[in-house]
Structure 1
Amino acid sequence: MKKITIVLILLLTQISFAQSTADFFTKADAFFKTYVSNGKVKYSAIKKNPATLHELLDMASKIKVTQSKTNTFQAFYINAYNLAVIKGVVDKYPIKSPLNVKGFFDKTTYDIGGKATTLNDLENKILRKNFPSEARFHFVLVCAGLGCPPIIAEAYQPSTLKNQLQRQTVKALNNPNFIKVKGKKVQLSQIFEWYKVDFTRNGSEVDYVNKFRKEKIPSDAKVSYYSYDWSLNQIK
Structure 2
Amino acid sequence: MKNIIIIITFLTTSLGFSQNTATFFSKSDAFFKKYVSNGKVDYATIKKDPASLDQLLTIAADIQVTTSDPKTYQAFYINAYNLAVIKGVVNNYPTKSPLDVKGFFDKITYTLGGKKTTLNDLENKLLRKVYPEEPRFHFVLVCAGLGCPPIIAEAYQPVTLEKQLQRQATIALNNPNFIKVKGKKVQLSQIFEWYKGDFTQNGSEVEYINQFRKEKIPTDAKVSYYPYNWSLNSI
Report the TM-score, using the length of structure 1 for normalisation. 0.99
3-state SS in 1 of match to 2:106: coil
Gaps of 5+ in 2: none
Structure-to-structure mapping, 1:21-32, within 5 angstroms: 21-32=21-32
Structure-to-structure mapping, 1:95-106, within 5 angstroms: 95-106=95-106
Q: Distance in 1 between matches of 2:111 and 2:17?
A: 18
Cα offsets for 1:51-93 (capped at 9, x unmatched) = 0000000000000100110000000000000000000000000
3-state SS in 2 of match to 1:99: helix
Structure-to-structure mapping, 1:1-236, within 5 angstroms: 1-235=1-235
3-state SS in 2 of match to 1:78: helix
Gaps of 5+ in 1: none
Structure 1 runs of 4+ off > 4 angstroms? none
Q: Distance in 2 between matches of 1:4 and 1:213?
A: 56
1:24 CA drift (Å): 0.3
* Residue identity matched to 2:199: F
* Residue identity matched to 1:29: D
* Residue identity matched to 2:214: K
Structure 1 range deviating more: 10-19 or 152-161: 10-19
1:183 CA drift (Å): 0.4
3-state SS in 2 of match to 1:27: helix
Report the TM-score, using the length of structure 2 for normalisation. 0.99
Aligned pair count? 235
What's the % identity of the aligned pairs?
74
3-state SS in 1 of match to 2:20: helix
3-state SS in 1 of match to 2:201: coil
Structure 1 range deviating more: 7-16 or 128-137: 7-16
Q: Distance in 2 between matches of 1:120 and 1:48?
A: 27
3-state SS in 2 of match to 1:181: strand
3-state SS in 2 of match to 1:95: coil
Q: Distance in 2 between matches of 1:197 and 1:166?
A: 19
* Residue identity matched to 1:69: D
* Residue identity matched to 2:99: L
Q: Distance in 1 between matches of 2:25 and 2:171?
A: 23
Q: Distance in 2 between matches of 1:113 and 1:63?
A: 5
Cα offsets for 1:188-207 (capped at 9, x unmatched) = 00000000000000000000
Structure 1 range deviating more: 68-77 or 10-19: 10-19
Q: Distance in 1 between matches of 2:15 and 2:119?
A: 30
1:7 CA drift (Å): 1.0
1:12 CA drift (Å): 1.0
* Residue identity matched to 1:174: N
1:157 CA drift (Å): 0.3
Q: Distance in 2 between matches of 1:8 and 1:93?
A: 46
Q: Distance in 1 between matches of 2:219 and 2:6?
A: 60
Q: Distance in 1 between matches of 2:8 and 2:92?
A: 46
